[in-house]
Structure 1
Amino acid sequence: MYSFPAEATWRTSSYTQQQNCVEVADTPGLAAVRDTKNRGHGHLLFETPEWRAFVGSLKTDRG
């Protein structure tokens, strides 16, 4: 099981809209995603290659 540091620095996507607010934080090997409006409800963890593949697929679909 992975643990994510509580002191991680979260950032909001530059593409975030009012209705779909998400934040992402990275550490070596992991990325965490959480709902900006419900930060206390936890986060989802992804291994870095998984997260990069997901973001890459979004960028490809836009083009």
Structure 2
Amino acid sequence: MAELRWRKSTRSSQTSCVEAAVLPEVTLVRDSKAPAAGHFAVSAVRWRSFLSRVKAGRFDR
């Protein structure tokens, strides 16, 4: 497998950092402060659904 390209969320702060590596079938998500702790995988369909909900403000407080 090629080296993963991890991208940090533009909404991350100093204490809440999330990175994602987008692949054709899945997106990998990890805590950027502890990358060696591992990651979890989300299907491409679910990742796009999650992002559209975030952009729509569904998780805003």
| TM-score band, normalised by shorter chain | 0.7 to 0.9
Provide the C-alpha distance between the structure 1 equivalents of 2:5 and 2:12, rounded to a whole number of angstroms: 17
RMSD of aligned Cα (Å): 1.4
TM-score normalized by the length of structure 2: 0.85
Taking the TM superposition and a 5 Å limit, the aligned residue runs for 1:39-50 are 39-50=35-46
TM-score normalized by the length of structure 1: 0.82
Structure 2 portions without partners, runs of 5+: none
Off by >2 Å, runs of 4+ in structure 1 = none
**Greater percentage in helix:** 1
Structure 1 portions without partners, runs of 5+: none
The share of aligned pairs that are identical, in percent, is: 36
